[in-house]
Amino acid sequence: MAEAPRMPIESGCPDPIQYMHPTMRRNYGQWVYHDRPRPGVLHHTSKNHEEIWTVRCGTSRQMDVYTIRKLADIADEFADGHVRFTMRSNVEYMVADEAKVESLIAALTESGFPVGGTGPSVTMISHTQGWLHCDIPGTDASGIVKSLMDEMHEEFTREEMPNRVHMTTSCCQINCGGQGDIALNVQHTKPPKINHDLVANVCERPTVVARCPVAAIRPAMVNGKPTLEVDEKKCICCGACFPPCPPMQINDPEYSKIALWIGGKNSNARSKPSFHKLVASNLPNNPPRWPEVTAVVKNILSVYKEDARDWERMGEWVDRIGWPAFFEKTGLPFTKFHINDWKGARHELNSSAHIRF
């Protein structure tokens, strides 16, 4: 008789202590220092003179069951079954015996999982759900992640950047991917196309009207059928109306583009947290490999790696050299899309990264 499946506990995140390595549990809150013997390996020493090594490897982000089983098999054979996933979909194995580190690294490398992502490197890209799970995306964030990391995995396995580079990808302009040193975001450039024959049967119209952040949607009648209409002068092409009303289709192979932002960070180490700022727009949303986006990201990383000082995050580097120098060094064009001209943000203009008066 098959074992009954474990039922989910609908009370938030489970207690993490139960899944920790025994050495971590014994020394919880007692760590004195840590160092990095090599890229992808963290070594912690506690007040009790106990040590633990953490080996971090990258994944393809969206994984099938065979890949997950392979990662679990490696944990069972080389790490006493102790493994965890990070928010950036890295996999971390923990061992209390230094002699096990090299064999664990060899097993991961042989299986195609690069070891790295620590210190001043290009870390794994965090991203939103993409076409697989989300109802609003204008692109496939996980596909962009795979394409970018295929090109930049060597920067993941080496610690040669001035500081850590956190990258994010968001499928839409809600930007739940968060702030990043380099962030990729979809920009819809045309208002939604409405299939008036389907709206009344599919959409709860008051909900759609309420969903619009700029009050650009209102009820309407077309050919005797209740539907919706969009005031295109107000519409900011955010795509928020599409999830509650799929007949308001905003995704378009020609008019849905990728925008690239830099300089965001959530930490307050050495400088305060900051929002990222637009540096490239209107890039083709070109699956499955997104070559145009990859080329721009690699160009920015190359200039940053060459020009920034040690420990400067990307936003701190730009603050030092100035935005004119950034656009000159990277060769990126400065266009009208870099100017925040929305009338509701007029009070921000004098503090913009691009305009001073």
pLDDT band at 253 (very low <50, low <70, confident <90, very high): confident
For the chain, what is the mean pLDDT?
89
**Higher-confidence position of 291 and 338:** 291
- Does residue 77 belong to any structural domain of this protein? yes
Residue 241 lies in a domain: yes
Q: Is residue 4 part of a domain?
A: no
List pLDDT tens digits, range 292-335.
999 999 999 999 999 999 999 999 999 999 999 999 999 999 98
Torsion of CA 272, 166, 342, 248, to 10 degrees: -140
Whether residue 184 is found in the same domain as residue 294: yes
The DSSP code for 183 is E
| Structural domain includes residue 311 | yes
State the pTM of this model: 0.86
For the record, the structure tokens of 264 come out as 């965001």
Looking at 80, 111, 142, which one is the last position of a domain?
111
Q: Which of 79, 111, 143 is the last residue in one of the domains?
A: 111
Q: Residue 357 — pLDDT band, cuts 50, 70, 90?
A: very low
23 and 55 inside one domain = yes
Q: Is the model's pLDDT at 354 over the cut of 60?
A: no
Whether 176 and 290 share a structural domain: yes
> What distance in Å separates the CA atoms of residue 19 and residue 71, rounded to the nearest whole number?
16
12 within a domain of the structure (yes/no):
no
Please write down the long-range contacts of 294-300, taking CB distance under 8 Å and 24 or more positions apart. 294/147, 294/148, 294/151, 296/260, 296/332, 297/148, 297/152, 297/167, 297/182, 297/184, 297/260, 298/151, 298/152, 299/330, 299/331, 299/332, 300/182, 300/260, 300/262, 300/330, 300/332
CATH number, domain of 197, equals: 3.30.70.20
Q: Label residue 347 by pLDDT band (50, 70, 90).
A: low
Specify whether 84 is located in the same domain as 203. Answer: no
Mean pLDDT computed over 116-143: 87
List, in order, residues 6 or more apart from 3 with CB less than 8 Å away: none
Rounded Cα distance between 261 and 50, Å, is: 43
Give the chain's domain count. 3
Taking only the tens place, the pLDDT of each residue in 167-176 is: 999 888 778 7
Same domain, 159 and 302: yes
- Statement to judge: residues 214 and 76 lie in one domain: no
**178 & 293 share domain:** yes
pLDDT band at 345 (very low <50, low <70, confident <90, very high): low
The verdict on 166 and 277 lying in the same domain is yes
**Cα angle at 42 between 98 and 23, to 5 degrees?**
60
CATH at 37: 3.30.70.3340
Is residue 59 within 8 A of residue 67, CB to CB? The reply is yes
**What tokens does 240 get?**
């928020």
| 24 and 133 part of one domain | no
In a domain, 107, yes or no: yes
- Token pair 């160092």 is at which residue? 35
Residues 165 and 205 in one domain: no
Are both 46 and 139 inside the same structural domain?
no
Q: Is residue 142 in a domain?
A: yes
Average pLDDT for 62-88: 92
pLDDT at 154 over 70: yes
DSSP notation for 50-102: -EEEEEEE---SS--HHHHHHHHHHHHHHSTT-EEE-TTS-EEEEES-GGGHH
- Start-end of H helices in 184-313: 196-202, 205-211, 291-307
Q: Report if residue 119 sits inside a domain.
A: no
Amino acid type, 283: L
Domain span at residue 55?
A: 18-111
Q: With 80 as the cut, is the pLDDT of residue 199 above it?
A: yes
Domain end call among 247, 269, 285:
247
According to the model, what pLDDT value does residue 344 have? 59
Q: Are residues 43 and 136 in the same domain?
A: no
CATH number of the domain to which 164 belongs: 3.30.413.10
